[in-house]
Amino acid sequence: MQEKKRSREDLLKAIERHEKNPGDRLTFLSDIGVISVGAVGAGAAAFAFGGTAATILFGLVTLPVAAPVTVVAGAAVLGGAAFLGVKRFFVDGTYQAGKREEMLRQLRDQLREVERKERQTSINEEDKTEFYSFLKKPLQLGLISVEDAQQTMEFVETGKMSISDAYKAIGEILSEAQGLPPS
C-alpha cells in the first residue's frame, strides 16, 4: 500500500545522507516515502486504499445496472441474506447492543489515536536517526526486505509503531540470523 517502491540502494543512501546531515529531515522523509505518503490521520485512509479504490468501490454500488448475468444472479442470492440480516437487526434487539459495541469501538479507536500521538511526540529525532542507522545492517545483509524496511521507517516516523517494538522486531531478526536466542 505504499505509493512508490524504493530499491535497497535508495534506502541505504537515504539513511547515509541522513546520518551526515540529520538536520535535513524533509529530504529524508521524502527519500523514504513518508512525505509523499503524507497526510497522517485523515489522509491515512486515502493512502491505504488509494483514490482510485474509492472510485472503483463507489462505482460498484451502481454496477448492477449494466452488469453481466452472473452479477445479477449473485446479487439475487446475496439479496436474500441481506433481507434476513436486516430483519434480525431490528427484530431481535441486536440494534442496541450493536450501538453500544460501536461506541466502545470508537472509544478504543480514540485511545489508540492519542497513544499514537504520544508516541510520535515522545521520541526525539536523534532516537529515530539512531534506529535508522541500526536498520542499515540487516538491510545490507538482505535479512529484511526493502519493503519491510521502508514501512518500518515510515511507521516509526508517523508513530504507528513504537521505536521499542521496531528495535525488538529487527533485533530478533539479527539474533536469529546469528543463531542466538531471541532477546
Partner 1 sequence: MASEKLSVAQANLKIALWNAEAEAFTSSHFYEWLQDMGLPEEVVTRLHELVSHTMKLGEKVIAIGKVVLVKIIAFVQAHPFLVVGAGVGAVVGAAIYSMVVSIPFLGQLLEPIARALGFGAVFTGAVVGHGLDKRFKDVGQNIVEIANEFFKLIADVLSAVSYQIVLA
Binding site for partner 1 (CB under 8 A): 1, 44-45, 48-50, 53-54, 56-58, 60-61, 63, 67-68, 70-71, 73-75, 77-82, 84-86, 89, 98, 101-102, 105-106, 108-109, 112-113, 116, 142-145, 148, 151-152, 155, 160-161, 165-166, 169-170, 172-173, 175-176, 182
Give min distance, CB of 176 to partner 1, in A: 4
Give min distance, CB of 131 to partner 1, in A: 14
User: Which element (helix H / strand E) includes 36?
Assistant: helix 34-37
Give min distance, CB of 18 to partner 1, in A: 21
Of the pair 21, 94, the CB lying nearest partner 1 is at: 94
Of the pair 17, 44, the CB lying nearest partner 1 is at: 44
Would you say 128 and 157 are in contact if contact means Cβ atoms under 8 Å apart? yes
Q: In 10 A of CB 104, how many CB atoms?
A: 10
Would you say 138 and 128 are in contact if contact means Cβ atoms under 8 Å apart? no
DSSP letter assigned to residue 145: -
Residues with Cβ within 8 Å of residue 3, at least 6 apart in sequence: 33, 36, 37, 47
Of the pair 25, 160, the CB lying nearest partner 1 is at: 160
Of the pair 24, 49, the CB lying nearest partner 1 is at: 49
Spatial distance between the Cα atoms of 16 and 95, rounded to a whole number of angstroms: 56
Of the pair 16, 113, the CB lying nearest partner 1 is at: 113
Cell digits of residue 97: 447492543
Give min distance, CB of 60 to partner 1, in A: 4
Q: Give the angle subtended at the CA of 178 by the CAs of 172 and 181, to the nearest 5°.
A: 50
